[in-house]
Amino acid sequence: MDYKIVFFDIDGTLFNEDKEIPKSTIDAINQLKSTGVELVIATGRAPYFRSITEQLGIESFVSLNGAYVVYKGQIVKSYPIPKEDLKTLIRCAELHGHPLVFLGDQRYFSNAQNHPRLLESVGSLKVELPGYNPLYWQEADIYQVFLHCTVEEEHVYERALPNLRLVRWHPFALDVLPSGGSKARGILDLLHALNLEPAQAVAFGNSLNDRELLALVGYGIAMGNAVEELKPVADFVTTSVDDNGIVNGLKAAGLV
């Protein structure tokens, strides 16, 4: 297959556990750029967590789990969470004492200061911590929310939030997405804008929020360090991020 576009997850895919990009990955992506294949970041991260896009020189991204899609600096599609659904989420979180972080397209803010669950989960991303503004959700479009609760506490939200989707990414944190939100939806929007078909795409991932992504594209690649639930969805399981995983995956797809 003559693949035209490659989507890369960030954490555990381009980034290793130390939030560093292995040299073999940088070299492989630079080689791929010379072929004219489109390169796109597909991540749950916000667009202003830009260290990786700057390091790799990739200007297109499907961010916030598909809720905010940009191609070479131009917004392709965005899916803000309806304010009424945010109100329901906030009421439920306040009732159970769980802090929230509201992610817009430019900035993000929490409704709690120095909460240990927030500090541990967001701190693990090695990005600047959110500011404090409990009313930020009223002032800007919100595309994703970090909800800080454990697996055991999660069930109360599944019943209370029928119009929202929950995807866990940390023992203390969930992504709250617009209804139907996923990386796959954002990728379909971008493919449509570029007049490409899913069969012409390759994607790399390692987490639960990559499941729909790998199932959608023509060649889905799970990292060797991926969660076990993801691997059966993939067309190919490469080696781990620190063991030339991107290089070996690109070779398997016939791209390098």
Closest CA to 189 of 22, 54, 70: 70
Q: Which structure tokens are listed for 118?
A: 């927030």
The residue whose two tokens read 């900035």 is 107
> Given 9, 11, 189, 210, which residue is catalytic?
9
Residue 78 near residue 46 (C-beta atoms within 8 A): no
Residue 31 near residue 109 (C-beta atoms within 8 A): no
The residue whose two tokens read 């449509």 is 192
9 catalytically annotated: yes
> CB burial class (10 A; 0-12, 13-18, 19+) of residue 176?
buried
Q: Report the half-sphere exposure of 39 (CA within 13 A, side-chain side).
A: 20
- Quote the CA–CA distance of 138 and 79 in Å, as a whole number: 16
- Residues labelled catalytic: 9
